[in-house]
């Protein structure tokens, strides 16, 4: 038998414990490749005898059969006994948390035996796995699996670790402190420490969660960050690599004030962690501003509100907008201001617009009041006239 495996780390297996014993095997078929995959048919729900096995409906097609272990297990190897000539020569072992999230665990090419054990690299805990067979022994037109045993790994289950910050591809300014954070866990023990590495050189460690380290004095250039988690038994795992870049931005420092020679940005109090994308910004202040006078030039002003073509929103429509949005039209919401800040010039222009609209509402209301007052005065005159005429009629009636 010739089994060709990729270069991975394998460990000793507990061949006295069959994790699949007593568990139903699941016929499975899906779309790993473009082949027309056929479902397997179960001759019996058990395994281990020549009258109790799994068979394919069409051995000429690529086939899959899945196994649900019912719990997370660190699988070490899989023993399989196929029919004398009804076995695969090339196949792939997949594993995952469920039947919808598989990853490749092992690839086998050139198998020449019907009975064999496939050692699996340490891939962490698996709930399910499946075998995808796509090339069979030339002496048969079908696949028949008579026995399948799943063996666990002996000893320690290695911890898992991932760098959560910084994100991959982030750039930092030279002189910035770079905060590194990692998440780590161990399914069969505890995490004793997490070590942080820069370009394969250890730069710090943390022994308690959350696992943090601040890297200071990062040099200009590209750097590759990794984290190494070690468990209570000494087993360790490396995280995926995170790539960052440290850039050299020429800052001219004068006391607590610095100036960027490229953009002209002046920073007071501290160098900003990230340069603003808008190069027209020339001042950054890390703190409060106290001044006697502030002049802001504004290209757009609200005089157009008093123009003849300006549409003033009806009061009923305005009331409906306020009831729905909880702020005036054109004004930013509290959420927007908290997230994006507030442009003083733009905000002053909007406030002036609201004042001018309010002035128009007052003028409109005043016109209505004047018209109403005029109507009242005319009605009073008519009433006085009617009263006078009634008095005259009353006097005439009295003389008679």
Query: Which of the two residues, 28 and 180, has the higher pLDDT score?
Result: 180
Say whether both 378 and 395 belong to one domain: yes
316 contacts 361 by C-beta, under 8 angstroms: no
178 contacts 108 by C-beta, under 8 angstroms: no
Rounded Cα distance between 195 and 227, Å, is 6
Arithmetic mean of pLDDT over the chain: 78
Q: What digits encode the pLDDT tens for the residues 91-124?
A: 888 888 777 777 888 889 999 999 988 888 776 6
Say whether both 334 and 224 belong to one domain: no
From 180-184, 206-210, 281-285, 376-380, the region with the lowest mean pLDDT? 281-285
220 domain-assigned: yes
For the segment 139-147, the average pLDDT, to the nearest whole number, is 77
Query: Which of the two residues, 301 and 208, has the higher pLDDT score?
Result: 208
77 domain-assigned: yes
Say whether both 134 and 208 belong to one domain: no
Q: What digits encode the pLDDT tens for the residues 256-288?
A: 666 666 667 777 776 665 555 666 777 777 778
Rounded Cα distance between 291 and 284, Å, is 16
12 domain-assigned: no
* Residue-range definition of the domain harbouring residue 135: 25-152
288 domain-assigned: no
252 domain-assigned: no
* Tokens 């064999």 belong to residue: 116
Query: Which of the two residues, 164 and 132, has the higher pLDDT score?
Result: 164
271 domain-assigned: no
Domain boundary among 130, 152, 174: 152
Q: What digits encode the pLDDT tens for the residues 214-269?
A: 999 888 889 999 999 988 767 788 899 999 988 876 666 666 666 666 667 777 77
> Which residues are CB-neighbours of 77 under 8 A, at least 6 positions away?
13, 15, 117, 118, 119, 120, 151
Beta bridge partners of 76: none
Rounded Cα distance between 105 and 96, Å, is 9
66 contacts 54 by C-beta, under 8 angstroms: no
258 domain-assigned: no
277 domain-assigned: no
**Residues recorded for the chain:** 400
Say whether both 227 and 327 belong to one domain: no
Rounded Cα distance between 21 and 70, Å, is 12
Using the predicted structure, report yes or no on whether residue 181 has a pLDDT greater than 90: yes
Q: Into how many domains does the chain fold?
A: 3
Say whether both 207 and 133 belong to one domain: no
Largest CA distance in the chain: 145
Say whether both 134 and 31 belong to one domain: yes
Say whether both 115 and 225 belong to one domain: no
CATH of the domain at 217: 2.60.40.10
Q: Which of 254, 226, 249 is nearest to 176 (CA)?
A: 249
CATH of the domain at 101: 2.60.120.260
SS3 78: strand
Domain boundary among 247, 277, 305: 247
Say whether both 215 and 318 belong to one domain: no
Say whether both 90 and 192 belong to one domain: no
């Amino acid at each position: 038998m010739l089994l060709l495996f990729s270069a991975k780390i394998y460990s000793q297996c507990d061949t006295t414990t069959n994790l699949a014993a007593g568990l139903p095997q699941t016929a499975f078929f899906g779309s790993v490749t473009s082949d027309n995959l056929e479902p397997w048919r179960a001759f019996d729900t058990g395994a281990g005898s020549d009258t109790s096995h799994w068979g394919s409906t069409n051995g000429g097609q690529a086939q899959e059969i899945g196994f649900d272990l019912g719990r997370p297990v660190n699988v070490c190897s899989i023993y399989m006994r196929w029919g004398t000539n009804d076995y695969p020569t090339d196949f792939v072992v997949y594993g995952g948390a469920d039947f919808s999230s598989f990853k490749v665990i092992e690839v086998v090419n050139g198998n020449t035996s019907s009975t064999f054990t496939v050692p699996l690299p340490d891939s962490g805990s698996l709930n399910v796995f499946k075998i995808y067979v796509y090339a069979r022994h030339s002496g048969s037109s079908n696949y028949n699996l008579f026995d399948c045993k799943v063996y666990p790994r002996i000893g320690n289950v290695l911890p898992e670790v991932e760098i959560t910050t910084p994100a991959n591809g982030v750039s930092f300014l030279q002189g910035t402190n770079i905060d590194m954070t990692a998440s780590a866990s161990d399914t069969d023990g505890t995490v004793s420490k997490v070590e942080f590495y820069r370009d394969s050189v250890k730069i710090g460690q943390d022994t308690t969660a959350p696992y943090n380290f601040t890297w200071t004095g990062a040099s200009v250039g590209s750097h590759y960050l990794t984290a190494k988690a070690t468990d209570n038994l000494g087993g360790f795992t490396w995280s995926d690599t995170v790539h960052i870049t440290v850039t050299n931005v020429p800052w001219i420092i004068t006391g607590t004030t610095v100036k960027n020679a490229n953009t002209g940005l002046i920073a007071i109090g501290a160098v900003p962690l990230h340069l603003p994308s808008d190069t027209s910004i020339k001042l950054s202040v890390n703190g409060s501003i106290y001044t006697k006078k502030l002049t802001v030039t504004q290209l757009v002003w609200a005089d157009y509100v008093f123009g003849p073509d300006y549409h003033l929103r009806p009061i009923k429509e305005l009331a409906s907008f306020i009831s729905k949005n909880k702020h005036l039209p054109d004004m930013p919401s509290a959420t927007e201001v908290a997230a994006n800040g507030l442009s003083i010039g733009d905000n002053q222009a909007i406030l002036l617009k609201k004042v001018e609209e309010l002035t128009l509402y007052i003028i409109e209301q005043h016109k209505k009041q004047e018209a109403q007052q005029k109507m009242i005065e005319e009605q009073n005159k008519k009433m006085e006239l009617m009263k006078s005429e009634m008095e005259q009629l009353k006097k005439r009636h009295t003389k008679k």
